[in-house]
Structure 1
Amino acid sequence: MDANQREFENPFGMDLDCENCTELCGSRERVVHGYGDVGAEFLVVGVAPTAAAERNGIPFTGAGGGERVQSMFADLGFVRSALDATEPDVQNVFFTNLTRCRHPGRDPTDDEVRTCEPFLNAEIRMINPQIIVPVGERPLRALAVEYTTRRPDSFDIDAEHATTIRGRGFELVPMVEPEELTDERAGEFLEHMRESVLARDYRQTKGRQER
């Protein structure tokens, strides 16, 4: 964790009263920005806050997949608190989403994802991660547009799960959606992380900027 960081929750002070997506303003409980170590080498990107994450104000917390994904990073040593913690104790990892507001009746629209892009792009720029973990096909394709040379429609999350994809300046290590994380698929991801990512000097994937 950065020695000067005081808060894990929304550490960059992003707009908590955002009204850029009018259809979401009346249905959301709150805006949920990123959470974690601002000096992280690993950035985890989902689609949108779950109901539990919206209640907590923290992405990837609570039921609905958050605890499942957290458990993976706890196994890898990045989460040091109980999995049901509403404000996890994390190191070297930052959790965020493509969009920051939850609609209770539907997934985010493409326009809403595009409207939220500046938030995600700012987090990526300020964190400067080595490894990005897209959780699900939609984050994988969204990141592919900006950060790889492959066409977005060339990605299949089932095939790309627990592999490494070279990006522009960092690497992508995709994970299937939390509801698809069977014990077997979770084991595949953990094995790849331990043997192909953490076992080598992943910091050589790009030149590290001074913080």
Structure 2
Amino acid sequence: MIRTTDQLIDRIAEELVWRRKELTELRSMAQEYDGQLRSRVIIRSAVALLYAHWEGFVKKTSSYYLEYVASHRLPYRRLTANFVALKLRSKFSELSASERISGGNALADFFCTSLDTQSNVPYRNVVDTKSNLSSTVLLDILSALGLDHAPFATRLNFIDSNLVNPRNHIAHGEEIDVTVAEYLQLHDDVIVLIETYRNEIENSSVLKRFDRGV
């Protein structure tokens, strides 16, 4: 269980290190074989891997942050609304599946009696990137985790047009030409994007933005 900010930061750092090593290796190879067919093949592979590491990093570190928040076991009343909402999702699912008149009792009971009890924030298999981490999906994840949208506002079009769409074309076996220069810029931009997400999670943990009592 991730219980401290230092533990969370360490886990995120570990997650980033191995991903950067792989991407840096591909970057070097693309430059080394510039002008050759091998470079074109490497670039196509690298674009797909850039997306994969972006999606994987968001999914993993989001789960780490949820685990960190869950470990505090704060009363529901002190949690920001987004984390209470994660807990309520399962209760709403149960309610919608029930045909009993009394089906809503459990949900009503939560609001009447459970707000001062220790929270049980779900953190396993909660973050769904839908295998297509578009700007729309990203904004939904940011909202679910209570993270700030502002640092990503100028990057939303980039995510869809420069990262997700090319990756989808490549994944579907379609021909797409990306020059070495374009790929190098894409690499740098994705690293910035990953670092931005990292900063948001770390800042939220340090400032305890999930705790309305702070």
| Structure with a larger share of its residues in helix | 2
TM-score with structure 1 setting the length: 0.26
| Structure number with bigger Rg | 2
TM-score with structure 2 setting the length: 0.26
Q: Which one scores higher on RCO, CA 8 angstroms, separation ≥ 6?
A: 2
| Structure with a larger share of its residues in strand | 1
